[in-house]
Amino acid sequence: MLPRVTTSLPVRPARTPEEVRAFYDAHRTVRRYVTREDGSPLPLPPEHLEAILHAAQRAPTDATAQLYSLIRLTHPEVRARAAELTNNAHIATASEALTVCLDVRRTGQILGATGNHVGHWPAVAVHFGIGDAVMAGQNLLTAAEMLGYQGCWIGGVLNGLGGLLDLLELPQGVLPFAALTIGTPAEQPPLRPRVPRPLVVHEDRYRDGTPEELREAVELMNPIAARRDHPGDWARLLRAYWAPGGSMEGREPHLVAALKRQGLWAGEE
C-alpha cells in the first residue's frame, strides 16, 4: 500500500457572511484620486504595488496559459495621450493606471522557443484571452480595495483603440480589453443599485424576465442614471449605449478593425 500523501495548505481565516457583504458593498467606482500638490499621481508604496500585482498574477487561467498582459502607464506623456484617446481624464491622475490586455502572442513565442508551432484559433484566443484578462484585472482591483484604495474599470479604450495600439506598440496577438485605474479616493460616490437577482441568477435553465419584472428592474436601476438635478432614467442611458445609433454601434467597426489588425478576427472578410 502506498503511503498517504498529505499537503499542508495555508489556513485562511474565515469571514462571516456579513463581513463579505460589507466588503463588496464598500466597492465604489472612483474617478477622482488624491494627488500630489501639483496634481501629479501619488505613487503607491512599493509594497502595496507589489501586493496588487502579485494578486493579479494569482488569478485563475485556462489551460495554464495566462493569456493576458498588464501595461503599466508610467510616463506622463503616455498617460496624457491614453487619457485623451479613452476620454477618461483620471488616467493621468490615478496612482496606478494600467491597460489590461488579452495576450496570446506570448504563448506562441513560448511554443516557438521550445521547437513547437502555434495553431490557428483566433476565436478561442478572444474567448480565453478576455477571460484571463478580466480575472487578472479584477484580482488586482480587489487586492487594491483590501489595501484601502478604490479604482475604475475603463471601457473607453474602444474610443481610441487604433491609437492605443500605436501608443503602446502592441504587436499582433495583443489587444486591450480595458484600462484600470487605482488610487486613494478623493470622492465618495453613492452605492449603485444592481438588477434584481432573479433576472441574473438562473437555475438549471435560462429564464426570460416577465415584462413586469423588467419594468421593476428599470425602476430599481433608475438612480444609476441620475445627473445633477435630473431624475434617473436607466432606459435612456441604455438607449444611449445600446440602441440603434448608440455609442456601441459607433465602437463596433473600430473593434473589428483592431481584431483584424491584431490577427484575432475569426469572421468572414
Q: Delimit the domains of the chain by residue range.
A: 28-189
3-state secondary structure the chain: CCCCCCCCCCCCCCCCHHHHHHHHHCCCECCCECECCCCCECCCCHHHHHHHHHHHHCCCCHHHCCCEEEEECCCHHHHHHHHHHHCCHHHHCCCEEEEEEEECHHHHHHHHHCCCCCCCCHHHHHHHHHHHHHHHHHHHHHHHHHCCCEEEEEHHHHHHHHHHHHHCCCCCCEEEEEEEEEECECCCCCCCCCCCHHHCCCCCCCCCCCHHHHHHHHHHHHHHHCECCECCCHHHHHHHHHCCCCHHHHHHHHHHHHHHHCCCCCCCC
Total-model pTM: 0.93
> Does the structural domain 28-189 have CATH classification 3.40.109.10?
yes
Per-residue pLDDT in tens (0 to 9) along the chain, 269 residues: 555 655 667 777 899 999 999 999 999 999 999 999 999 999 999 999 999 999 999 999 999 999 999 999 999 999 999 999 999 999 999 999 999 999 999 999 999 999 999 999 999 999 999 999 999 999 999 999 999 999 999 999 999 999 999 999 999 999 999 999 999 999 999 999 999 999 999 999 999 999 999 999 999 999 999 887 778 999 999 999 999 999 999 999 999 999 999 999 998 87
